[in-house]
Chain A
Amino acid sequence: MTILWTHLVKDLRIEWRSREAVNSMLFFALLVVVLFSLAFQPRGEFSQQISGGVICVATLFASMSALNQAWAREIRHQVLDAQRMAPTSGSDLFLAKVVANFLFVSIVQLVLAPVFLVFYNLRVLGPAWELALVLPLGTWALVANGTFFAALSIRSRNRELLLPLILFPIFMPALLAMVLAIGSILTGDNGQVLWIKLLAGYDIIFTTVSLLLFDVVLHAE
């Protein structure tokens, strides 16, 4: 637990000094939101229906840069090799990275939410507090898998390209659940419970498997 905490504090301190990941994500997500509203010109009923999808896809695209950076930082000065030799389990390192990235992506979502409400003229017709359940669950699904696959693709020749190529197919069911849950809450048709359960199940399954297999990826030679 102390090791996890050390890793987490280190990652947060690096980010606090540079603010690279959060700033780049924030601007990128904002661009995606603007691009989508120009491309589809959403109004009224239509904007209620598509906005869940837009916010999920915007977060998904924006998080790619942060996820890649999370491990690229460790590559410099052979820090990753040092981590590999350290007599601690890789799961602490992995979990700390996931929590750090989870915080970064959540900050981006919180800042973006008001902008989003304005641009898309949204009114939440369902129980709004359930958004505080759906967004963290979906973000965790994205960040847990994303951190794992970023560690996996960091070994490849063109690492920035590979991450989305292997992450997006695996992430699809979680994206579907997240989009449908947000859509249900916004339009107030009360179909979200099933999707929240699916998201929770997805999170549990993939976080467990990631924790089990992370040492294999870290020590792959």
Chain B
Amino acid sequence: MKKFAIILYTAVTLALLAWGFYQAWYVAPADAMQGEIYRVIFYHVPSASVAFLFFAISLLGSIGFLAYRRSHPDWAQRSDAWALAGAEVGVVFCTVVLLTGPIWGRRAWGIWWTWDARLTTTLVLWLIYVSYLLLRRFVAGPQMQTLAAVLGIFGALDVPIVYMSNRWWRTQHPAPVFGGDSSAGMAPAMVTALMWNMLAWLAWGILILGIRYRVERQHQKIAEREAQAALIA
């Protein structure tokens, strides 16, 4: 039953991705000002949303690990697996954001990169979570999970400060398209296409996140079994 549900979910996700692709490239009209290049938004914005969501999951996992590590070791292990999966898949989506952004920026702004609040925050966020993954590689033994959780909390704490500091410094990124002033907004066909792509990439991200979580849980179980075997022998 569980297997069937996973296969069904995968099939729905792939169908959504195909439908999102069709919407983005054939249904949504070209932009009046930007032409075809604006279609980057169908990949850039969903990836950014998914990346931020997964970093939040990683933070919750880190807090959960520190909270439960004495009282409920099994919950703590699950939390740690979520923290790792969130950070790792989040970094992948964040990389997509950082790659698609300059492609659009080159055409729309005439420059690949600028040290604007959102760009810098995203880059620093990416750097923080890469350093988190490096820490997990470098530290051996069971204390790694504790140290990684501490760094995860520090990293998340840094994000609002980075954002504020850059906001005071300079800002060039387009203002929010939705809920902005009267000049903001998109054609209805574009909004529909964007929403389909949001849904599709979110579904895809959750699928990958789930797989990564499963893999990490298997790792933990193997490590535990080996530790038990070593104790007996």
Which of B134, B142, B151, B165 counts the most chain A CB atoms within 10 A? B165
A169–B124 contact, CB under 8 A?
yes
Cα separation A198 to B157 with both chains bound (whole Å): 14
Task: Give the residue of A149, A157, A169, A202 whose beta carbon is less than 8 angstroms from that of B161.
Answer: A202
Chain A residues, Cβ within 8 Å of B162: 172-173
Task: Give the residue of B131, B146, B168 whose beta carbon is less than 8 angstroms from that of A169.
Answer: B131
Chain B residues, Cβ within 8 Å of A162: 134-135, 138-139
Please, which residue of chain B has its CB at the minimum distance from the CB of A161?
B138
Cα separation A170 to B132 with both chains bound (whole Å): 11
B135–A177 contact, CB under 8 A?
no
B147–A220 contact, CB under 8 A?
yes
Q: Known contacts A152-B151, A156-B135, A169-B127: does B165 contact A220 (CB below 8 Å)? A: no
Chain A residues, Cβ within 8 Å of B161: 173, 198, 201-202, 205
B131–A152 contact, CB under 8 A?
no
Cα separation A209 to B66 with both chains bound (whole Å): 14
Task: Give the residue of A170, A202, A216 whose beta carbon is less than 8 angstroms from that of B66.
Answer: A216
A155–B128 contact, CB under 8 A?
no
Chain A residues, Cβ within 8 Å of B146: 216-217, 220-221
Residue B158 lies at the interface, judged by CB distance under 8 Å to chain A: yes
Cα separation A15 to B98 with both chains bound (whole Å): 45
Q: Known contacts A157-B138, A169-B128: does B155 contact A220 (CB below 8 Å)? A: no
Please, which residue of chain B has its CB at the minimum distance from the CB of A180?
B169
CB 8 Å contact bits of B113-142 with A (1 = contact, 0 = none): 000000000001001100110110011111
Q: Known contacts A156-B138, A216-B150: does B143 contact A173 (CB below 8 Å)? A: no
B140–A166 contact, CB under 8 A?
no
Residue A9 lies at the interface, judged by CB distance under 8 Å to chain B: no
B143–A221 contact, CB under 8 A?
yes
Task: Give the residue of A157, A166, A176, A213 whose beta carbon is less than 8 angstroms from that of B153.
Answer: A213
Chain B residues, Cβ within 8 Å of A172: 124, 127, 158, 162
Q: Known contacts A152-B151, A173-B165, A216-B146: does B157 contact A209 (CB below 8 Å)? A: yes
Residue A107 lies at the interface, judged by CB distance under 8 Å to chain B: no
Residue B15 lies at the interface, judged by CB distance under 8 Å to chain A: no
Q: How many residues of A contact B (CB 8 A)?
A: 31
Please, which residue of chain A has its CB at the minimum distance from the CB of B165?
A173
Residue B164 lies at the interface, judged by CB distance under 8 Å to chain A: yes
A217–B147 contact, CB under 8 A?
yes
Residue B68 lies at the interface, judged by CB distance under 8 Å to chain A: no
Chain A residues, Cβ within 8 Å of B166: 176
Cα separation A201 to B164 with both chains bound (whole Å): 12
Cα separation A206 to B155 with both chains bound (whole Å): 11
B134–A221 contact, CB under 8 A?
no
A205–B151 contact, CB under 8 A?
no
A169–B155 contact, CB under 8 A?
yes
Chain A residues, Cβ within 8 Å of B169: 176, 180
Residue A2 lies at the interface, judged by CB distance under 8 Å to chain B: no
Cα separation A173 to B155 with both chains bound (whole Å): 12
Residue B154 lies at the interface, judged by CB distance under 8 Å to chain A: yes
Q: Known contacts A173-B158, A220-B143: does B151 contact A166 (CB below 8 Å)? A: yes
CB 8 Å contact bits of A177-221 with B (1 = contact, 0 = none): 100100000000000001000100110011001000100110011
Task: Give the residue of B131, B140, B151, B154 whose beta carbon is less than 8 angstroms from that of A157.
Answer: B140
Q: Known contacts A157-B140, A205-B157, A221-B142: does B165 contact A166 (CB below 8 Å)? A: no
A198–B150 contact, CB under 8 A?
no
Report A's interface with B, CB cutoff 8 A: 149, 152-153, 155-158, 161-162, 165-166, 168-170, 172-173, 176-177, 180, 194, 198, 201-202, 205-206, 209, 213, 216-217, 220-221
The 8 nearest A-B residue pairs measured at CB: A220-B146, A220-B143, A169-B127, A156-B138, A173-B165, A169-B128, A156-B139, A173-B161
Report B's interface with A, CB cutoff 8 A: 66, 124, 127-128, 131-132, 134-135, 138-143, 146-147, 150-151, 153-155, 157-158, 161-162, 164-166, 168-169
Q: List 8 A-B contacts (CB under 8 A).
A: A152-B135, A156-B138, A162-B135, A168-B127, A169-B155, A170-B154, A209-B154, A221-B142
